[in-house]
Homo-oligomer: A and B are copies of this chain.
Amino acid sequence: AQQSGATMDRTLVTYEIAQDVAILTLNRPEKRNALSDHVIDDLESGIAQAQGEARAIVICGNGDHFSAGLDLAEHAARTPIEGVHHSRHWHGVFDKLEQSAVPAFAALHGAVVGGGLELAAACHVRVADETTFFALPEGTRGIFVGGGGSVRAGRLMGVARMTDMMLTGRSVDARQGEAWNLCQYVVPAGEARAKALELASKAAQNAPMSNYAIINALPRINDMGRGDGFFVESFVSAMTATSPEAEARLRAFLEKRAAKVARPE
């Protein structure tokens, strides 16, 4: 798939592919990458395209910020039912990212605020550089999250911390964000994209079925009763273990051709 999706020209979300990793870059730096409906549309096509030709996704932002969230300038007067449909549409797009066949890595810097945090939370791994800060100003604006944040960000940091952020408008920096499980890595300023790309490239070498199972089964099993989770695990485990790819990898391991687990550096 060498030329097919490479560096397409999109105004709001650029798309490039390198070594099996699709890189989607939010590209409205002058608006702090505010998420308009057009940005969401472009994200949707980028995610769809990546399914066909990439084995991992990186999402990052141009300029000084990952994303300052919902483009409030676009906040048209809507009837309540229109508001429901608008929120449901965002859910649909972010669901395609979260339930993707391939894992997604968010590279964060600067503002990761409101809808920006909701987008980051729909990725599977989050790498933040030291300039990153997280906030959910919806509470102080008189509104509520509508892009899945109450589900995804709430499950990441827990209800109490999210309540605090929404009630008080509190900002949280990268280190605090790591302690609160809002990101899994903190790197020096400017290095988030490179680190995310490195992790994505590594994950891209896993068996596709393992990756599919990891990103899709783990959150579901966490939502089930324990007994049901064990049952499901046994099916996912048995199905991956009997795939030809697993056989090959296990053989490589037994023949000492595969790396052992290393101590953390």
Q: Which residues in A have some Cβ–Cβ distance to B below 8 Å?
A: 68, 72-73, 75, 77-88, 91, 95, 101, 103, 111, 113, 124-126, 133, 135, 137-146, 148-151, 154-156, 158-164, 166-173, 176, 179, 181, 184, 199, 202-203, 205-243, 245-250, 253-254, 258, 261-264
How distant is A60 from chain B, measured CB to nearest CB, in Å? 17
Give the docked Cα–Cα distance between A196 and B217 (Å).
33
| Complex alpha-carbon distance, A258 and B103, angstroms | 38
* Residue in chain B with minimal CB distance to A178: B179
Q: Which residue of the partner chain, among B126, B207, B219, B250, contacts A159 with CB atoms under 8 Å?
A: B219
Interface of A is mostly: helix
* Contacting pair B228 A142 (CB below 8 A): no
Alpha-carbon separation in the docked complex, A101 to B210 (Å) = 27
Contact check, A125 vs B168: say whether CB atoms are below 8 A apart.
Answer: yes
Per a CB cutoff under 8 Å, which of B212, B215, B253 touches A81?
A: B212
* Bound complex: CA A13 to CA B83 (Å): 33
Of A72, A176, A229, A245, chain B has the most CB atoms within 10 Å of the CB of A229
A137 contacts across to B, CB distance below 8 A = 261
Q: How far is the CB of A224 from chain B (nearest CB, A)?
A: 5
Report yes or no: B264 in contact with A210, Cβ–Cβ below 8 A: no
Is B83's CB under 8 angstroms from A151's CB? no
Q: Which of B166, B214, B220, B225 contacts A214 (CB 8 A)?
A: B166
Q: List 26 A-B contacts (CB under 8 A).
A: A72-B250, A73-B254, A78-B242, A81-B209, A83-B234, A84-B235, A84-B238, A87-B238, A95-B230, A125-B164, A135-B261, A139-B214, A140-B249, A141-B210, A141-B253, A142-B243, A151-B226, A155-B222, A156-B158, A161-B184, A163-B218, A173-B263, A220-B228, A223-B224, A225-B227, A232-B235
**CA of A72 to CA of B237 in the docked complex: distance in angstroms?**
14
Assess the B113–A171 pair: CB atoms within 8 A: no
A139-B210, A231-B220, A250-B141 given; A68·B242 CB < 8 A: no
A249 contacts B142, C-beta separation under 8 Å: yes
Nearest chain B CB to A210's CB is how many angstroms away? 5
List 20 additional contacts besides A80-B209, A142-B210; criterion CB under 8 Å: A81-B238, A83-B237, A83-B239, A86-B238, A87-B233, A133-B263, A137-B261, A141-B250, A142-B206, A142-B250, A143-B246, A150-B218, A150-B232, A155-B158, A170-B264, A223-B224, A223-B228, A224-B225, A225-B226, A235-B239
